[in-house]
Amino acid sequence: MSHLNEFGITHLRHVDLAVPDYETQRSFYTDTWGLTEVGTDGDLSYLAAEGSPEQYVVRLRRDADKRLDLISFGATDAAAVDALAERLGSLGVQLVGQPGDLQTAGGGYGFRFFDGDGRTLEVSSDVETRQHRSIEEGEAIPVRISHAVVNSNDISATRDWYQTYLGFKLSDSLGSPHMGEMMHFMRCNDWHHSLAIARGPHTSVHHVSFEMRGLDEYMRGTGRVMRAGIRKVWGPGRHLAGNNTFSYFIDPSGNTMEYTTELERLETDEWHPSVYDISDPMTQDQWGTSDPMSEFIAKESFNDVDRGLFVAPPV
């Protein structure tokens, strides 16, 4: 079976964040989190994962306002980029600009546009790959970016937008009889999710997740970040939906970052989404090692109201 996205979207490339505490964040992501700064450009820092061919997986930008600058996805080729831009424009999606050569690290060909909630998205092809390597046994640094989760106050509408306009497929959902649906897991390839949409009071970043080499490296990394004094919100544990492990931390600017490993890969397109009941402790943590999910833990990842909705970043 083919897992190709119908509009040629291949994978999550990077998540770009604007932060007021730029130097503190650079230090956190390199010294504590385990990313490698591969370049700077004025008030920009490009951060790569050693095991990933992507030029960078996080871009930091110095700004007075904290915001999500953009979420970037790869595309199969320039023709897919052009076709998607033409399609979105014809359907009334607000484009930031027409497809063209990208001016960011690694170049490439792409364009930016706003999703239904006002986040800036980028779809690109032909970005140069970087020299990467196999992460060694016991090396507790991210292999790659795994997924991004965003908050929305209407998760069904946001889910429908990504399905309709970008061809994402629903893998599974979380919910409960008395609270309704709380999260939708969306895929653009055979990973269980590259994007998820969480129910929150406003549009914001919920968390960004990074894949570790294996369980040992995931636990070593979790311990290293804890020892560095970074506040752990939840974990370690293993989710039911996606079957991946989780350790959530709050970075210095208040964004939630996750270490994970062993995210499920779907072997068939004939996947039937389930709605997992979050009132069942096994749904949130199959191991039972993390604190039970509570409204207090949930609120930690509501984040600040995003200041960048329907405003494209300057770079």
pLDDT in tens, 55-66: 999 999 999 999
| pLDDT of the residue at 4 | 84
pLDDT band for 2, please (50, 70, 90 cuts): low
CATH number of 9-125: 3.10.180.10
User: Residue 138, exposed/middle/buried by CB under 10 A (0-12, 13-18, 19+)?
Assistant: exposed
Can you tell me the mean pLDDT for 295-310? Answer: 93
| 144-300 has the same fold as 9-125 | yes
Structural domain spans, the chain: 9-125, 144-300
CATH of the domain spanning 144-300, picked from 3.10.450.40, 3.20.20.70, 3.10.180.10, 3.40.50.10800: 3.10.180.10
pLDDT in tens, 98-120: 999 999 999 999 999 999 999 99
| pLDDT of the residue at 43 | 96
Question: Does residue 1 surpass a pLDDT of 50?
Answer: no
Can you tell me the mean pLDDT for 168-175? Answer: 96
